[in-house]
Amino acid sequence: MCGVVRLPVRVKVAGRPGCGRRTVTRVLRGAGVVIAGPSELADLDIYVLAEAPKPEDRRALAQPPRPVVAVLNKADLAGFGGEGPLAAAAARCRRLRDLTGVPFYPLAGLAAVAAVDDTVVDDELVGALRVLTTDPADVGSTDRFTATAHRLSQATRQRLLTQLDLFGIAHGVLALREGADRAGLVAALRRASAVDGLLAGIDAAAAPVRYQRLTTANAAESDQQVDARMAAAIEVVRAAGMTVDDGVTTAAHLRRAITWQRYSRGPVSPLHRCCGADIVRGSLRLWERAGGVAEPLE
């Protein structure tokens, strides 16, 4: 298969100053997302906000040069009522998605960095959090956490704030109280940060990029090429919220071909029409390989 298909999807991180672009970039890089360099073309934009969209944010999201995913960073500051700040941030993201048409995902940036960067959660940090499990500090505010007398040095508490903030400290202490080891602590911070939801959203937004790259690279002649194009097309339609039958029987392959042939003939976008055609082609090829036999029309 042509080498261009194997190239990773590259993203560009954008947003107004102060929104946490560097933190989000560090999170994405640590999670294996490829960040486009200054002179490289990006396939996907990651637009970062830390509060309600300003007019310049709305303009950027209204006319993006590429597919875009928006990040509501500092989601741990979204309020502590109800089910907690991440739930409040997720609800805000849904409203922003409805308002802008752009997918929004919450992120607690510092907790996410700690979850994906192996250098953050070291023995010193784990030890400090373990002290807090039996000797709690004043977490009413960042100032009180560092200024109030405590057996942990002020420098150690400042490091905890710098690398985890109060939100990450609270989740880390809770995980250790429940018996977590270092790996369990990192896993707890990962869950609390909502980073996996963001990564899934980026992967879904990148599905059309991968599909279009694949369709440009080959004409879908061999079984392997047909299968690859069908798999990429399925990613695209699933990312759009549709269901594709995973059945492997002869009847399932034929049923899937009929379903997506009807879909591709409907009022759909050119991209989804092509995806439907590739799902039909792949399903029929699988149907033939599974022993399906075309019957003459009467």
Q: Report pLDDT digits (tens) over 84-123.
A: 899 999 999 999 999 999 999 999 999 999 999 999 999 9
Can you tell me the distance from the alpha carbon of 242 to that of 4, in angstroms, rounded to the nearest whole number? 28
DSSP letters for 54-114? PHHHHHHHHS-SS-EEEEE--GGGS-SSTT-HHHHHHHHHHHHHHHHSS-EEE--HHHHHH
Residue 10, SS3?
strand
Instruction: Kindly state whether residues 234 and 187 are assigned to the same domain.
Output: no
For position 40, which CATH number holds?
3.40.50.300
Q: How confident is the model at residue 222 (pLDDT cuts 50, 70, 90)?
A: confident
Q: pLDDT over 90 for what percent of the chain? A: 82
Q: Give the Cβ contact number of residue 238 at 10 Å.
A: 13
pLDDT of the residue at 25:
97
- Closest by Cα among 127, 165, 173 to 146: 165
Instruction: Kindly state whether residues 126 and 102 are assigned to the same domain.
Output: no
Instruction: Kindly state whether residues 8 and 98 are assigned to the same domain.
Output: yes
H/E/C letters for each residue in 144-190? HHHHCCCCCCHHHHHHHHHHHHHHHHHHHHHHHHCCCCHHHHHHHHH
Q: Report pLDDT digits (tens) over 159-208.
A: 999 999 999 999 999 999 999 999 999 999 999 999 999 999 999 999 99
Q: Per-residue pLDDT for 32 more than 90?
A: yes
Instruction: Yes or no: say if 106 and 93 are a contact pair by the CB < 8 Å rule.
Output: yes
Instruction: Kindly state whether residues 125 and 67 are assigned to the same domain.
Output: no
φ/ψ (deg, to 5) at 208: -60, -35
252-275 average pLDDT score: 95
Which of 201, 228, 263 finishes a domain?
Answer: 201
pLDDT of the residue at 220:
60
Q: Per-residue pLDDT for 1 more than 50?
A: no
Instruction: Kindly state whether residues 177 and 267 are assigned to the same domain.
Output: no
Instruction: Kindly state whether residues 66 and 45 are assigned to the same domain.
Output: yes
- Closest by Cα among 9, 20, 71 to 44: 9
Instruction: Kindly state whether residues 165 and 184 are assigned to the same domain.
Output: yes
Total count of domains within the chain: 3
Instruction: Kindly state whether residues 104 and 124 are assigned to the same domain.
Output: no
Can you tell me the distance from the alpha carbon of 171 to that of 189, in angstroms, rounded to the nearest whole number? 7
Instruction: Kindly state whether residues 101 and 126 are assigned to the same domain.
Output: no
Q: Supply the pTM of this predicted model.
A: 0.87
Domain carrying residue 94: 3-108+194-201
Q: Per-residue pLDDT for 293 more than 90?
A: no
Using left for φ > 0, alpha for ψ between -120 and 50, and beta otherwise, residue 282 falls in alpha
Instruction: Kindly state whether residues 9 and 39 are assigned to the same domain.
Output: yes
